[in-house]
Structure 1
Amino acid sequence: MEPVFSQQLQMQAYATLSSNDVLPMETLLSHLFSPQEPQKSQAYSLLHCCRKHFPDLLFIKVFFVIRNGPSAEVRTRSALVLRFVLGDLWPKLSLNAQINLKNLFLVRLQEEGSLPILRILCLIASEMAVEISRTGDEWPELIDYLLMSLQSDSERFQLSALWVCAFFPKVHRPVICETLAPSIEPTHSAFLRMLNSENADIQVATFGAVVSLIHLFSNSLGRNWFHDLLRGMMVGLFNLLSHLKEDYARGALKELIMLVMEEPQLLKPYLNELVLDMLKIVDSEQVTEGTKVFVHKFLLTVVEASDLALTMRGLPHQTLVKLLAVPMKLLLCINDDYACYNTESEQAENAGKIDLGIAYLTKISTALGEKTMTPIAFELFLEYMDASDWKKRHAGISMLAVIARECSEEMEQAASAIQHLIKNVSSDSLRMHMDLDAILSKLQKDHRYLLFFSKSSPIHETIVQFNLQVLTLLHRHCTYIMCVFVCACLVSSN
């Protein structure tokens, strides 16, 4: 049920919208965005009254303030209010008001000089296209504007067209793709050119436009339009990184993550190239950790995509080894128990990396499956356990715990590695004692794996010997494991 507004409030609404002075509208906008609740509530009531009783006047006034507001803040607020009321208000506008608004909007897109406001207007234009379509009407002038702007030499025109394309809601994208199909070649050429633009805003906006209109290029018969664009996106990403424009590179990575989430099946033929390209970024010393976080998110999104699971398992062995090496490097962020971190933030950062590494390993194990994952993990495990650096050995132990949990049926070949680990622990190696303490702590939480390792008599013998010489710290683990071994033997004899 719609609210009923008093005669006094209706008169105030009409006075605000019909005044030649912009101050009453400016006051309304200020109160709408005020942190003070009484002012905010009263302003919303006034806005809803305007929307219900004077829709045409509201649009005219809001649009007037967008063009002629006294400050960028007022103009931005007016644009946000226009977006807020658009969906409910568009069907209530008179036909003349709708026609005028469409024309005024296209002019505003060409004339707006403030990029933040232009971005909001492009978002409104894309949503307005949906509202127009819902009423059974069309907006062919918008399509003409997009095609004209994509071919323009004006960077502002290009940017406005790209933003409109990128912001189209998913429900409207099939309609837009169908409408643009006859112009696929010039659109494709324009996108390729803009992916290589020296203007980073245009580059990132093109990423968004490609993702939004992906079905325009993937559903077309004949030429593989999508492959060219995907390659152009990766080249554009590396260009942004090489020019130290990492904030923009992160925006580009966000769009690529969205592509994986929405259309993973399109990436199957190119998955190996994509993964290798991302691994290069992770390995680069010039790229900051903040940007690498987005690369990790991309790789995790790929790993989690069920549509890509079979393709992931079919990647070349060397690619999978490099992929698994990423979480292993994250696990190296651990510090010695007796060392102090410089700051609490450093401690939290390192802990976060270790948690991310464990999550990586778990998700990669799930995606690749036991038969693919275990041989690769075992290969890395031996390499890490043979290292002199205790951090690498600790990472190997952590990986083993994950693999033991996720790939229990394929763990048989790891038994000799456990034996090797135990035999090489000397009584004067405190770090290795703590490594072994960590893995025994992990293994004793699940009897299945202890029972599995109890099948290996060499391991059984070495643990008995080890229990005679190690620090008191480890006695409880060895004793516990021996008890499980005894139980296992009793079960086997029965």
Structure 2
Amino acid sequence: METLKTQAKELLLSPDLLSLVSLVTRMIGTHEDPHKLEAKAIFAHCSQNYPNTLSLKLTHLLQSSTQSPLTAAYATFLSSLLTGHSHKISPMILTELKPLLFACFQRQTLEPILKPLALSIGIVALRVYKTKHADWQELLDYIVSSADSEDQKYRELGLILFSELPMKMGRFLMPTFDSLYLTILKCFSSPTMNHRSFGFRMSLILVVHLEGFVDYDSIKDLLPAMLKFLIELMNDRQDGSTELCLKNLNSLVKENAKFFKKHLKHVCETMLQIVEADYVGEKIRYAAMDIVRALNDSLNTEMFALMQNLTGENLHRLISASMDMLVRIKDDPILYNMDFNVTFEDINGGQMESYDLGSFLLDQISAAVAGDVCLPITLKLTQQYLAAPEWQKHHAAMATLSIVAEECSEVQ
């Protein structure tokens, strides 16, 4: 142990950075290197006991390094150090780290270096955020200016920084909130799809940070702009991007459902519009309908009230979309072989996810909507399904009747 302490002190008290370069080189060496474990032990001891000095030395190495593999290692080890020991970094060292880290980030172009650097900046920003009378205006200005730039590479750099800020840093963002919000809205009005896509991604991050810090009436135009972009993306036949954006929106519902409260009808109508498009794939349809389920899970009272008030065409569309989820099952000869101990779920695998989602939504609809309103629409749709040649539609019709009849049993 004494040897380890001595080695750590020699490393940190060295007037140059060559000893640290040698240590990091050994840490990223091959498994056969007999000194690799020893180097890691020294680094861990320095991280635990001398995080201020080690963080500064690593940052200075980042500034001077010109070799990509080593630079990436410096950035990774620095982010690891700050992740585990940022609470030990003194305010004075934080003040030194801010401009050094920011300058390093602005000079880099390679993602393996940018990502850990952005993580380190985010961790330091969190400490700054928690320090009274401290701010990091230069960082905020950079994020805003990048969002407003026509240079896609510059925009992406700002997005990397923004995405690595720790969760729910609304107070930290407030000095530039108005500028950031207006800039994001400006992105959505851009004629360039890439710029609008950037606005969507920035919106997802902004909303997470703002929970509890702003009145959502002050950003009332944001969600409609996001939904409009989703339809544009779908119409542009960018299936992979559409599915990813829907999944991201679903995650946002789970993270900050209050943001959606005043736009529930608009969100549900947009999801139905996506589901009803005859040129989208099954994964997109599922992702869209799953957002309706996520809203119901997070805002059950509000969604119940919304469904209660559904009538006519909108109710017909929602029941129809839910029934269509029940059709997503496949027949398999193995089901008819009694020698195999298998279930319907075993054969259909992923298809059962859609089936379960459709069943869930039909159950919620029939529980909320009055039977004398829900049942006639359901009967009309099931008759159409029963008249179709596909056995899947027959099965969906019977399943629908079973679900709806349970809730509407009192209807004469």
| TM-score bracket for the superposition, by shorter chain length | 0.7 to 0.9
Q: CA deviation at 1:104?
A: 1.3
- Retained in 2: the 8 A contact 1:217–1:226? no
Q: CA deviation at 1:65?
A: 5.1
Amino acid at match of 1:302: L
Give the gaps of 5 or more residues in structure 1.
Answer: 1-5, 342-346, 415-494
Query: What per-residue deviation string (whole Å, max 9, x for no partner) do you get for residues 39-93 of structure 1?
Result: 9976654332011333233213433454526335x54444343333225533433
Write the mapping of 1:30-429 to structure 2, written as runs, cut at 5 A: 45-64=41-60, 66=62, 68=65, 70-72=67-69, 74-115=70-111, 117-136=113-132, 137-173=134-170, 175-181=171-177, 184=178, 186-195=179-188, 196=190, 197-199=192-194, 202-214=198-210, 219=215, 225-305=218-298, 306-309=300-303, 310-336=305-331, 338=333, 350-366=348-364, 369-372=367-370, 374-375=374-375, 376-404=377-405, 407=407, 410-413=408-411
Distance 1:334 1:247 in 2: 23
Distance 1:217 1:56 in 2: 32
Query: What per-residue deviation string (whole Å, max 9, x for no partner) do you get for residues 328-380 of structure 1?
Result: 22322334465999xxxxx9784422343233322442366254475254443
Instruction: Give the number of equivalent residue pairs.
Output: 390
Distance 2:35 2:240 in 1: 37
DSSP 3-state at the match of 2:350: helix
Structure 1 match to 2:342: none
Alignment partner of 1:20 is 2:21: no
- Retained in 1: the 8 A contact 2:147–2:158? yes
Distance 1:39 1:401 in 2: 69
- Retained in 1: the 8 A contact 2:329–2:392? yes
- Retained in 2: the 8 A contact 1:166–1:211? no
Give the gaps of 5 or more residues in structure 2.
Answer: 337-344
Write the mapping of 1:439-458 to structure 2, written as runs, cut at 5 A: none
Distance 1:301 1:143 in 2: 32
DSSP 3-state at the match of 1:199: helix
- Retained in 2: the 8 A contact 1:59–1:82? yes
Query: What per-residue deviation string (whole Å, max 9, x for no partner) do you get for residues 234-258 of structure 1?
Result: 2322333344444433442233213
Say which structure, 1 or 2, has more relative contact order (CA 8 Å, 6+ apart).
2
Amino acid at match of 2:394: R
- Retained in 1: the 8 A contact 2:144–2:183? no
Alignment partner of 1:7 is 2:2: yes
Distance 1:86 1:280 in 2: 46
Query: What per-residue deviation string (whole Å, max 9, x for no partner) do you get for residues 130-184 of structure 1?
Result: 22233434333323333343344443433333343344334422x1343335xx1
- Retained in 2: the 8 A contact 1:188–1:225? no
